[in-house]
Amino acid sequence: MEQAQVSARLVAKVVLVIAGVVGALYFLYLIREVIGLFLIAVFFAVAIAPAVNWLNHRRVPRWLAILLVYLGIGGSIFGIGLLIVPPLVNGVQDLSGNIPGYVDDLRKNQTFRDYDDRYHITAKLKQQAQQLPSKLGDAAGTLRDVTVGVFTRFVQLFSILVITFFLVKDGHRLLEFIYRQVPPERARRMRSIANDISDAIAGYVLGNFVISILAGLVTYVTLRILGVPFATPLAILFGFFDLIPLVGATLGGILVGIVVAFAADFPLGLIVWAAVLILYQQVENNLIQPFVYGRAVQLHPLIVIVAILIGAALLGVLGALVAIPAAAAVQAVIRDFWRFRQRDQAAAQPGEAPAEAG
C-alpha cells in the first residue's frame, strides 16, 4: 500500500515537472520576439559601449555620451543616405527617360535578338506592360500592408534603442550587483564569460565593417572600369547589403547587376560584373570571413550557418545579423563550463589515489 502511494506521488511529481517544463518552453515561445529584441539590444549595447566609455572617461556624462553616439550613428546613416539616394533617384529618372534608346540598342544587339527570337522577351515585356494598370490597382492593399509592417519595425527599433540606452547606462552596475551576490570564484567565472562575449561581439562588429568596406571597394573599382555611372553610391549600397550574412552580397549583386545591364556594354559588362561578384564571394567566404570570424568569434563555419538560419527565421535580417555573436556567447558559456569541469575532475584525482593505495 505504501509503495503504491510512493509510486503515485512520484508519478505526480514527474507529471508536474514535465508540465512545468512544457509550460515554460511554451511561455518562452510566446515571448520569443521580446527575447529576440532584448538580445539585439544587448548586441548593440556591447557594440557601442567602447565609444560610450571613451566619452565617459573624458568627463562626458554617461547618458549624454550614449545620446552623442546615437546622434553620430544616425548622422552617419543620414549622410550616407544623402550620398546614395539623390544620385540613385536621378539615375532612375535618367534611366526611365533613356529606356527607349536602351530598347533600340538592345534590338540592334545581335545577342539580344537571338535571345528574343528564342525566348520572346519583347512580347513578354509588352504583355506585362498591358497588365500594369490592373497590378497598380492591387498595389493599394500591398501599400497598406507595407505601412503596417514599417510601423511595426519602427516600434521594434525604438524599443531596441531604449533598451540599449539603459543597458549601456546602467548595465555595468547590474553586472556588479550580480557579481556581489555569488561566491568570488563564480563571480570570476562570470566576469571571464562576460569579457569573452564582449570581445566576440566587438570583434564581429569590427570585422563585419572591414569586410563590408572591402566589398564596397571591389564594387567601386569594377564599376569604374566598366564605366558605370554613380559608381560611388552603388558601391556603398553593395557594402551595406554585404553586412547581411549569407544572402546580402547576392541581393546587392543582383541590384548592381540590373544597373550594369543597362549602363554598360551588354552583355559583356554584365558578364564581367557577374564574374567579379562570384570570384569575390568565393574569396570572402573561403578566405576573408573564416579569418575574421575565426579570430573574432572562433566559430566553426557549420555553426555560423545554422546560427544565421535560426536568427533569420526568428527575427529576419536583424536576427541574422546578431546570430553569430549570440552563438559565440553560447559557445563561451559551454567552453567555460567544460573547462571548469575538467579542472574539478583533475583536482579530484590526486585525492583518490592515496585512498586506493591505503
CA nearest 315: which of 38, 127, 13?
Answer: 38
Query: Could you give the number of structural domains in the chain?
Result: 1
One digit per residue, pLDDT tens: the chain, 358 residues? 556 665 777 777 788 888 888 988 888 888 878 887 888 888 888 888 888 988 999 888 999 999 999 999 888 888 877 776 776 666 666 655 665 665 666 666 666 666 666 666 666 666 665 555 555 555 555 556 666 667 777 888 888 899 999 988 888 888 888 888 888 888 888 888 888 888 777 778 888 888 889 999 999 999 999 888 778 888 888 988 888 776 788 888 888 888 888 777 777 888 899 999 999 888 887 777 777 766 667 777 778 778 888 887 877 777 777 788 888 888 888 887 787 777 766 766 655 544 444 4
CA nearest 192: which of 21, 47, 329, 304?
Answer: 329
* DSSP 8-state symbol, 24: H
Residue with grid cell 569586410, as numbered in its chain: 211
Q: Give domain status of residue 237, yes or no.
A: yes
3-class state of residue 271 by DSSP: helix
pTM of the entire predicted model: 0.63
Cβ(214)–Cβ(288) under 8 Å?
A: yes
CA nearest 214: which of 239, 231, 248, 243?
Answer: 239
pLDDT in the model for residue 109: 62
Cα–Cα distance measured from residue 352 to residue 342, given in angstroms and rounded to the nearest whole number: 16
pLDDT in the model for residue 348: 66
Burial tier of 341 (Cβ tally within 10 Å: 0-12, 13-18, 19+) = exposed
pLDDT in the model for residue 196: 80
Q: Give domain status of residue 18, yes or no.
A: no
In which domain, by residue range, is 339 found?
A: 34-110+155-343
Q: CA-CA distances (angstroms) from residue 29 to 4, 82, 275, 294?
A: 37, 40, 44, 31
Virtual torsion, Cα 229, 233, 237, 238, nearest 10 deg? 50
pLDDT in the model for residue 143: 56
Q: Give domain status of residue 357, yes or no.
A: no
Q: Give domain status of residue 131, yes or no.
A: no
Cα–Cα distance measured from residue 203 to residue 6, given in angstroms and rounded to the nearest whole number: 55
SS (H, E, C) 69-91: HHHHHHHHHHHHHHHHHHHHHHH
3-class state of residue 2 by DSSP: helix
pLDDT in the model for residue 129: 55
Number of residues written out for the chain? 358
Q: Give domain status of residue 20, yes or no.
A: no
Q: Give domain status of residue 207, yes or no.
A: yes
User: How far apart are the two ends of the chain, measured CA to CA in Å?
Assistant: 46
Q: Which residues contact 38 (CB under 8 A, 6 or more apart)?
A: 163
Q: Give domain status of residue 128, yes or no.
A: no
Q: Which three cell numbers stand for residue 76?
A: 552617419
3-class state of residue 228 by DSSP: coil
pLDDT in the model for residue 218: 92
